[in-house]
């Protein structure tokens, strides 16, 4: 038990963990598996992301839409030389299924896990499905930590042999309601055993600074690695949608204005008169500004004490990750072979 836990305090041999423990500013990114059994989609996306982050989150039926499994896609990603962060939701599996899947994931080479409650199935493409929610995300963190650190299953039975030495993550939504409770909820996740945290998308840096101040007062930044979530905007419409429709997301008007201004050269053209070429050029201008804003956000976020890295969510836009990481001066990623014992 915990044989490979050296004096460096590492709980796993994840590259993400080693990067963080070595004191480097870490980068994670995200890979959305396809709504098919097409391995090539994973290969293409892995090719775009390789070398730009320590680890790549593989979403688990994100927004409750059926996609290739996180563990399946994660195994392919490992073959491509990337390190996955397996995302696991409580929506689709009970405690038996989660534990057995995680044993399998570890055996396939997975070393990082992100524990989530999961989007409710009513948002997805199977709204008539029965949900599970046998556990919640905090109980999931606790269960995996017990499997790893004590070699016991959730029922309390001890097991022999290899334990799943996973670097355990959880999510945080700093601006979700009730906002005053958010640092305390983070504390519960840390207490449950979360080694790292990936936050919801941050666009409002001053608001996040306030949150981090409370987090630091509670000493949580010294007990877990907090990776601030960022994501490039594709259009002013996307920015407005996020501001108005996504709970727990703060998008300052200033950012919406910048995105709008990026499309200014086409603003005088009537909607019907926009040619295909105009639309493509405007989209490219928007995306360029979206990437630039994301780079600036990373530069601001990394100055906040207690922010150990960034999690870049370029949803269905994996091409953006390279330019963002390079633009933020975070490329090449540090070479981490091993930590001192």
| Binding interface with other proteins (CB under 8 A) | 90-91, 95, 117-120, 122-123, 131, 133-139, 142-143, 154, 171, 173, 176-178, 181, 184-185, 187-188, 191-192, 200, 247-248
Whole-angstrom distance, CA of residue 279 vs CA of residue 261: 15
Task: Report, in Å, the least distance between residue 143 CB and other proteins.
Answer: 7
Collapsing DSSP to helix, strand or coil, 269 comes out as coil
Collapsing DSSP to helix, strand or coil, 26 comes out as strand
Q: Which is nearer to other proteins, 185 or 302 (CB)?
A: 185
Q: Which is nearer to other proteins, 132 or 151 (CB)?
A: 132
Whole-angstrom distance, CA of residue 145 vs CA of residue 169: 10
At residue 23, φ and ψ (nearest 5 deg) are 90, 10
**What number of other Cβ atoms are within 10 A of residue 211's Cβ?**
21
Task: Report, in Å, the least distance between residue 273 CB and other proteins.
Answer: 38
Task: Report, in Å, the least distance between residue 197 CB and other proteins.
Answer: 12
Q: Which is nearer to other proteins, 183 or 322 (CB)?
A: 183
At a CB cut-off of 8 Å and minimum separation 6, what does 331 contact? 51, 52, 322, 325
Q: Which is nearer to other proteins, 146 or 292 (CB)?
A: 146
Task: Report, in Å, the least distance between residue 126 CB and other proteins.
Answer: 14
Q: Which is nearer to other proteins, 135 or 226 (CB)?
A: 135
Task: Report, in Å, the least distance between residue 118 CB and other proteins.
Answer: 8
Which two structure tokens, joined as six digits, stand for 14?
């994840």
Cα dihedral: 311, 67, 146, 309 (round 10)? 0
Which two structure tokens, joined as six digits, stand for 85?
């962060």
């Amino acid at each position: 038990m915990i044989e490979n836990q050296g004096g460096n305090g590492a709980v796993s041999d994840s590259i993400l963990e080693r990067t963080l423990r070595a004191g480097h500013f870490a980068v994670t990114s995200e890979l959305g598996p396809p709504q098919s059994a097409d391995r090539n989609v994973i290969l293409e996306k892995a090719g775009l992301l390789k070398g730009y982050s320590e680890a790549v989150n593989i979403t688990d039926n994100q927004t409750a839409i059926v996609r290739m499994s996180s563990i399946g896609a994660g195994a392919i990603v490992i073959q491509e030389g990337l390190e996955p962060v397996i995302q696991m939701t409580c929506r689709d599996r009970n405690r038996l299924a989660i534990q057995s899947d995680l044993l399998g994931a570890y055996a396939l080479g997975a070393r990082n896990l992100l524990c989530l409650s999961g989007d409710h199935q009513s948002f997805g493409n199977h709204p008539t499905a029965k949900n599970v929610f046998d556990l919640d995300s905090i109980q999931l963190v606790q269960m995996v930590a017990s499997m790893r650190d004590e070699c016991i299953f959730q029922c309390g039975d001890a097991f022999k042999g290899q334990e799943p030495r996973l670097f355990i993550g959880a999510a945080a939504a700093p601006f979700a309601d009730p906002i005053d409770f958010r640092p305390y909820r983070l504390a519960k996740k840390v207490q449950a055993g979360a080694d790292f945290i990936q936050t919801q998308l941050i666009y409002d840096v001053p608001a996040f600074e306030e949150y981090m101040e409370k987090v630091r007062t509670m000493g949580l930044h010294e007990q877990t690695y907090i990776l601030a979530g960022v994501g490039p905007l594709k259009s002013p419409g996307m920015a407005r949608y996020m501001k108005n429709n996504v709970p727990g997301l703060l998008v300052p008007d200033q950012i919406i204005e910048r995105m709008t201004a990026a499309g200014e050269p086409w603003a005088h053209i009537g909607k019907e008169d926009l040619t295909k070429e105009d639309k493509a050029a405007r989209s490219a201008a928007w995306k360029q500004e979206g990437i630039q804003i994301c780079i600036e956000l990373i530069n601001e976020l990394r100055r906040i004490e207690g922010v150990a890295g960034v999690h870049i969510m370029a949803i269905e836009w994996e091409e953006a990750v390279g330019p963002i990481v390079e633009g933020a001066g975070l490329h090449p990623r540090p070479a981490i072979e091993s930590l001192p014992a």
